[in-house]
Chains A and B, each alone.
Chain A
Amino acid sequence: MFKDLRSKPAPVIVCTAGDFYGTADIFNESKSHFVAQMMAELGYDAVGVGEMDLNFGLAGLVRDARQDRLPVVCANLETTVDSLRVRPGGRSDRANRDADRLGTAFPPYVIVERGGVRFGFLGLLSPATKAGRVMGETNEVKSLTYVISDPATAAQSLVPELRKACDVLVLLAHMDQDEAAALVGEVDGIDFVVLGHDPQGRPLGEPVVVGETALVRATYQGMHIGELSIDLEGKHVKEYHNRLYPLVASFRDDPDMVKKLDAFDERNREEQKELYARQQLRSADSASGASRYLGVGTCQSCHAEAFDVYMHTAHARAYNTLASQFVHRDTNCIGCHVTGYGDEGGFSGVRARGAMVDLVDVQCEACHGPGSEHTRDGSYRERAIHSCVKCHTESDDPDFDFDTDWPLVAH
């Protein structure tokens, strides 16, 4: 798609509002760094920081920014650790000076020139995104090496001068829409805001206009790419048109990128096998013997009819759908294809020889909760009603409708 857009006469600038890393677990680390590498290859001009991008510590992001020369910008991600300060040479002395003044890890902004027009990209991350959950291989919370300061204060300090240094100013705002709208209400001079961080994954078909500023958002999990076609008068925005491209399966893939992805997948599969084996060993060491999850076999002994229904549902084959696509070790996927993933005594791997409980697939306890909490007052049955939407989310299963879909598993 980028190639197609770049083949047209108008100059193209590519930016992201952040969250390109995966969830905070060991299986996602290599994948996240690979994505950063591919973003550099795709030629991103400005990269904002999301709370997910700090999942492997600030050091992980700093390493990628340096190795891949990713133009990461964030005006309120501060650090006192000198080795974690990225000051790209030759790009913008001004941005590096401002970074030193503010004590930030990355330059607060980058100025990109296209067709004689200077586009400024300022990055901000909201502390409300709960950044700071950093997991190591043993899931300990590592000590943080950074502080996220108030985004509005950072914007107020930078925007007036930055506005003079560029013709069009874009804020890469990793924050809720309301917070960004309040911020641009306080700080004049921002032309566009590219929003990140929407847990509901809602793209904005039409920009939201606050004063002189237009807020846009693509999302979710890379499912949409946004394009602002901008017409200028002199060097300033005259008018713009927003368009979202849904990257559906029929969208043509770039053959070179597919080759790179396939090569990575192959390497990654080997690495994940090893990580998985290590994790299983740790689980075996720490097993208490009193699992809260009992497995579908235990449920079956009293609920034979319900078990029979279950065996004919897609829930009973949920793990296979992952395995058939070789994504059964992908922690972004596993949680909704097994039982009790991430929970004490829940799924931690395919049953090892001699283990008593096998928690692959979406078993009874995935919806009702651990069997150890089974009661006979009807509440164990009732609680399952509210559990569908944990996995059948608006973004992952937009067609889900309880009234239509419940009969498929009714028991």
Chain B
Amino acid sequence: MDGHLPSPGRLTLVAALLAAVFGSAQTPPPAAAPEPDVRLVYESDTRAYYRPCG
């Protein structure tokens, strides 16, 4: 059975290849958008419908 298992060195190589093709699971998340100078929050047609009818 031992002869059928890939060696640790081969596993490392495969992992490196997979990471190169698909990207590493440890890839840091994309950087958050930079904070703007001002946020203008707006609404249109708010009405008094603050709850759905059902």
Seen from chain A, the residues whose Cβ lies within 8 Å of a Cβ on chain B are: 2, 5, 8-22, 28, 31-32, 34-35, 39, 50, 52, 114-115, 117, 119, 170, 192, 194-198, 201, 203, 216-222, 224-232, 240-241, 249, 261, 321-322, 324-325, 327, 330, 332-333, 336-337, 396
CB atoms of B47 and A20 under 8 A apart: yes
Count B interface residues, CB 8 Å: 21
Q: How far is the CA of A346 from the CA of B52 in the complex (A)?
A: 24
Q: Which residue of B lies closest to A261 (CB)?
A: B50
CB atoms of B54 and A325 under 8 A apart: yes
Q: How far is the CA of A39 from the CA of B43 in the complex (A)?
A: 11
Chain B interface, DSSP helix/strand/loop, else mixed: loop
Q: How far is the CA of A162 from the CA of B38 in the complex (A)?
A: 20
* B48 → chain A closest CB, angstroms: 3
Residues in chain A near residue B36, CB distance under 8 A: 10, 229-231, 240-241
CB atoms of A115 and B38 under 8 A apart: yes
Q: How far is the CA of A361 from the CA of B35 in the complex (A)?
A: 51
Interface string of B28-51 (1 = CB under 8 A from A): 000001011111111111111111
CB atoms of B49 and A228 under 8 A apart: no
Residues in chain B near residue A8, CB distance under 8 A: 35, 39
Q: How far is the CA of A229 from the CA of B48 in the complex (A)?
A: 27
Q: Which residue of B lies closest to A117 (CB)?
A: B38
Residues in chain A near residue B52, CB distance under 8 A: 249
Q: Which residue of B lies closest to A321 (CB)?
A: B54
Residues in chain B near residue A20, CB distance under 8 A: 46-48
Interface string of B7-42 (1 = CB under 8 A from A): 000000000000000000000000001011111111
CB atoms of B43 and A218 under 8 A apart: yes
Q: B1: CB under 8 A from chain A?
A: no
Residues in chain B near residue A227, CB distance under 8 A: 39-42
Residues in chain B near residue A219, CB distance under 8 A: 44-45
Residues in chain B near residue A194, CB distance under 8 A: 42, 44
Knowing A196-B45, A216-B42, A220-B45 are in contact, say whether A10-B37 is a contact too (CB < 8 A): yes
Q: B5: CB under 8 A from chain A?
A: no
Knowing A21-B48, A115-B38 are in contact, say whether A225-B53 is a contact too (CB < 8 A): no
Q: How far is the CA of A287 from the CA of B42 in the complex (A)?
A: 46
Residue in A15, A192, A232, A240 whose beta carbon sits within 8 Å of that of B41 in the complex: A15
Chain A interface, DSSP helix/strand/loop, else mixed: mixed
A-B contact pairs, 25 of them (CB 8 A): A10-B36, A10-B39, A12-B39, A12-B41, A13-B41, A15-B43, A16-B44, A22-B48, A31-B50, A39-B46, A117-B38, A194-B42, A195-B44, A196-B44, A203-B44, A218-B45, A221-B47, A226-B43, A227-B41, A228-B39, A322-B53, A322-B54, A325-B53, A327-B51, A327-B54
CB atoms of B43 and A13 under 8 A apart: no
Q: How far is the CA of A404 from the CA of B32 in the complex (A)?
A: 42
Residues in chain B near residue A114, CB distance under 8 A: 38
CB atoms of A2 and B53 under 8 A apart: no
CB atoms of A336 and B53 under 8 A apart: yes
* A241 → chain B closest CB, angstroms: 7
B41, B42, B48 interface centre (most CB from chain A within 10 Å)? B42
* A166 → chain B closest CB, angstroms: 13
* A170 → chain B closest CB, angstroms: 7
Knowing A21-B47, A222-B49 are in contact, say whether A13-B38 is a contact too (CB < 8 A): yes
* B54 → chain A closest CB, angstroms: 4
CB atoms of B53 and A17 under 8 A apart: no
CB atoms of B47 and A19 under 8 A apart: yes
Q: Which residue of B lies closest to A249 (CB)?
A: B52
Q: How far is the CA of A32 from the CA of B48 in the complex (A)?
A: 6
CB atoms of A222 and B43 under 8 A apart: yes
CB atoms of A221 and B41 under 8 A apart: no
Residues in chain B near residue A170, CB distance under 8 A: 40
CB atoms of A13 and B44 under 8 A apart: no
Residues in chain A near residue B41, CB distance under 8 A: 2, 5, 12-15, 225-228
CB atoms of A333 and B37 under 8 A apart: no
* A176 → chain B closest CB, angstroms: 12
